[in-house]
Structure formats: C-alpha cells, structure tokens
Amino acid sequence: MRLAVTGREGQVAASLVEAARGRDDVEVVAVGRPALDLARPGTVFAALEAARPDIVVSAAAYTAVDQAEDEKDLAFAVNATGAGKVAEAAARLGVPVIHLSTDYVFDGTKDGAYVETDPTAPLGVYGASKLAGEAAVAAANPRHLILRTAWAYSPFGKNFVKTMLRLADDRNEIAVVADQWGNPTSAFDIAEAVLLAAARLCDDGSFSGFGVYHLVGSGDANWSGFARHILDSSREFGGPYARIRDIAMADYPAKAKRPANSRLSTVKFASAFGWTAPQWRRSTVEIVSRLVLREARQANIQLNQ
Ligand SMILES: NC(=O)C1=CN([C@@H]2O[C@H](COP(=O)(O)OP(=O)(O)OC[C@H]3O[C@@H](n4cnc5c(N)ncnc54)[C@H](OP(=O)(O)O)[C@@H]3O)[C@@H](O)[C@H]2O)C=CC1
Ligand SMILES: Cc1cn([C@H]2C[C@H](O)[C@@H](COP(=O)(O)OP(=O)(O)O[C@H]3O[C@@H](C)C(=O)[C@@H](O)[C@H]3O)O2)c(=O)[nH]c1=O
Ligand SMILES: [Mg+2]
C-alpha cells in the first residue's frame, strides 16, 4: 500500500513516515510545501498525483489555535478549502481519503464523552475552520474517513509535552489549567490506527463504513493532570521537572476559547476496526522517554566535543 500524507514536518505525517520505515507492506510519501500548499489550491492535485497513492491521508492543517483568531481567512483557506481540495484530488485519482479533524468542533457543554452524532458548535476559529473542512471533505469524496482526534503529542513538531519539558527546564513551578478535560493522544497511536484503517479501505472493496469516527488515547485527563504525568515521567528518566499548580481556564488568558469537556468516545472506531488506543499514560511515558533521552544524548555529544 502506497499512502500519500499531506504535511511533511507535522506530528501525524512524521509519525506515519516513521511507522512505515519499520514495515514492508506500506510506503508513506509525505507531501508538503512548497509542492503542496493548501493555501494555493492549484498546487494540490499535481502534488498528490505525483505521489501515485493508493490512499490519501489529509493531515496538514493550520493548527495555531490562538493565532487563528487573528488569521481567520488563512485558517479557513487551509483547513476548509484546502482540505476539500485534498479530498477532491483523491476522488479524481480514484482513491479514498482519511482526513484528520479535532475535538474542538464541540463546545464542551456535554456531561459525558462526545459521540460522532452529537451536535457540533465550535467555540473558536480553528474549530470552526476544521468543521467546515469536514463538510468540504465529505462533499468532495464519498470514500472518506474523518477521524477526529485530540490533544496530540509526539517527538515531532509543537505540542504540549514538548512545551512542558521546555518550561520545566528553567522553572520550579508551572501553572496549568485543571478545568478542561479531554483525551491526550500520541501521534504514534494515531499513525498506527490510520495505517490499520487505510489497509482496510484499500483491501476491502466492499467497505461501507465511510464517515466520521472519534480516535483518541484511552482514558481522560485535564491539562494539569497531563502536565504532572509528563514531568513525573521526565524526572524518572533524569529529565527536567517542575511542580504543577492547578489554575482555572479563566486564569489563563488566551485569545481562543477552548471546550471545558472534549472527551471523545471511541466505541464506533473500536467496533468498526477492532482497535483501541493504549492508555494515554503509557503512551506519554514512551514519548517523554524518547525526548528526554534524546536531549541527554545531545548534551553528551556536546560535552565530548
Ligand atoms: N495537534 C493536535 O493536538 C491535534 C491535531 N488535530 C488535527 O490532526 C491533523 C494533524 O495534526 P498535527 O500533525 O498535530 O499538526 P502539526 O501542526 O504538527 O502539523 C501541521 C502540518 O500542516 C502543514 N501545513 C500548514 N499549513 C499548510 C499549508 N498551507 N500547506 C501545506 N501544509 C501546511 C505544516 O507544514 P509546515 O511544517 O511547513 O509548517 C505541518 O506540517 C491536523 O488536521 C489537525 O487539525 C486534531 C486534534 C488535535
Ligand atoms: C503552555 C501552557 C498551557 N496551558 C493551557 C492552555 C490550554 O488551555 C491548554 C493547552 O494548551 P495548548 O496551547 O498546548 O493547547 P491547544 O493549542 O489548545 O491544543 C489543541 O490543539 C489543536 C490543534 C487541537 O486540535 C486540540 O485537540 C488541542 O490539542 O493548557 C496552561 O494552563 N499553562 C501553560 O503553561
Ligand atoms: Mg516500508
């Protein structure tokens, strides 16, 4: 199976590239700027056609949640129009598309975990642009999976795990919001699930389960609990540590409003594909250890130079 993924340095794209390195049955081609620029729709088809994919994974996105409030047009161009163009290109190439979306399509007022049929009501521009992207993808290519994930982290790109490790480097205490709940999700786990679903779509000609699925790490957390686990794990591997102080969302001024509860139920994905993500605590240890040991190795190299 030959899979083209949009976004080269992105967390999910880089995780897919790494996952494929260890497997003979899958080849991943990452397509990004300047060849494929979602803000320039004219670039999309040619870039994907050149990759000769059996399936397209649409993972590139404008993901700066606060900045999106000031760059609404660009966020929509990339996350809505651009995503639609990717799905349309896949349709023209005669292949299915797996598109990544977000928990931020919800407003967070539900009590329990959101299911796929729950009403959406994004609180900010990023969520609204991703929701518009879902509609554009569905309209452009009937053979689509829209996988809503959340709170993604990995050794790559920008994410909360890397931010906490960086802040802990020169602080004794970090204040983190404790009244926002969700599901931390390793991009390695996302990659594994995407490869599984992709294989199914490519191999099973009568697959009929197209549509929206929630795909997140098992177990829930608030940001401060997540932060505490990150830094406890880091300390165990000899990495940076800081105390975490619980604060309220209201005490952390940010441009974009975020949902207080964006827990997602993964029952639908589990029953369609027979796969559930590992507990987020376990996956977090894996990523933290890698980051901390990488830092240690780099420090060692510098010492020895
Ligand atoms: N990060 C998260 O916590 C979550 C992410 N998601 C969704 O999952 C998907 C993957 O996220 P993740 O891997 O974390 O994202 P990242 O922010 O790590 O990467 C996004 C990628 O998109 C690329 N990109 C941005 N603008 C353009 C453009 N105009 N044209 C082409 N490429 C562009 C970036 O390229 P460059 O490297 O050049 O900047 C980058 O490679 C996205 O759809 C995101 O909305 C959903 C829930 C949570
Ligand atoms: C850095 C930091 C953040 N926070 C808070 C702010 C926010 O409420 C929460 C998370 O901050 P971040 O800016 O990392 O998270 P954010 O950019 O909102 O992350 C989101 O990204 C997009 C792409 C998604 O799709 C979402 O699923 C989600 O992962 O933690 C603190 O309380 N203290 C801190 O020191
Ligand atoms: Mg391979």
What's the Cα-to-Cα distance from 197 to each of 75, 191, 215, rounded to whole Å? 27, 10, 11
Ligand having the closest approach to the CA of 61: 1
For the record, the structure tokens of 33 come out as 């700027």
Residue 33: predicted pLDDT:
97
Q: Which of 61, 15, 7 is nearest to 185 (CA)?
A: 15
**Does residue 62 carry a catalytic annotation?**
no
In the three-class reduction of DSSP (H, G, I as helix; E, B as strand; rest coil), residue 294 is classed as helix
Residues 6+ apart with CB under 8 A from 275: 192, 193, 196, 269
Ion ligand 3 neighbours (CB, 5 A) are 20, 23
Q: Given ligand 2 and candidates 12, 106, 147, 160, which is best to mutate, with the most ligand atoms within 8 Å of its CB?
A: 160
Distance CA 263, CA 216 (A): 9
Distance CA 166, CA 159 (A): 11
Determine which residue's CA is closest to atom 16 belonging to ligand 2: 65
Q: Which of 154, 142, 294, 291 is nearest to 231 (CA)?
A: 291
Cβ atoms within 10 Å of 25's Cβ, excluding its own: 8
**DSSP conformation class of 279:** B
Q: Given ligand 2 and candidates 66, 153, 179, 258, which is best to mutate, with the most ligand atoms within 8 Å of its CB?
A: 258
Ligand having the closest approach to the CA of 254: 2
What's the Cα-to-Cα distance from 204 to each of 20, 95, 96, 195, 274, rounded to whole Å? 20, 13, 12, 14, 15
Residues 6+ apart with CB under 8 A from 302: none
Residue 155: phi, psi to the nearest 5? -75, -5
Residue 294: predicted pLDDT:
86
Of ligand 2's listed atoms, the one at least distance from the Cα of 163 is 1
Query: Domain 2-158+184-219+261-278's class?
Result: alpha beta
Cβ atoms within 10 Å of 110's Cβ, excluding its own: 16
Of ligand 1's listed atoms, the one at least distance from the Cα of 78 is 29
What's the Cα-to-Cα distance from 78 to each of 27, 62, 71, 156, rounded to whole Å? 26, 6, 11, 21
Residue 227: predicted pLDDT:
98
In a structure prediction context, what are the per-residue pLDDT tens digits for the chain, which is 305 residues long?
999 999 999 999 999 999 999 899 999 999 999 999 999 999 999 999 999 999 999 999 999 999 999 999 999 999 999 999 999 999 999 999 999 999 999 999 999 999 999 999 999 999 999 999 999 999 999 999 999 999 999 999 999 999 999 999 999 999 999 999 999 999 999 999 999 999 999 999 999 999 999 999 999 999 999 999 999 999 999 999 999 999 999 999 999 999 999 999 999 999 999 999 999 999 999 999 999 998 878 877 777 77
- Ligand 1 mean position to 110 CA, how many Å? 27
Answer whether 176's CB lies under 8 Å from 258's CB. Answer: no
Length of the chain: 305
Predicted-assembly ipTM surpassing the 0.85 threshold: yes
Residues 6+ apart with CB under 8 A from 180: 108, 222, 223, 249, 258, 259, 260, 261, 262
Pocket of ligand 1 (CB under 6 A): 7-13, 32-33, 36-39, 59-63, 78, 100, 102, 130, 149-152, 157
Residue 206: predicted pLDDT:
95
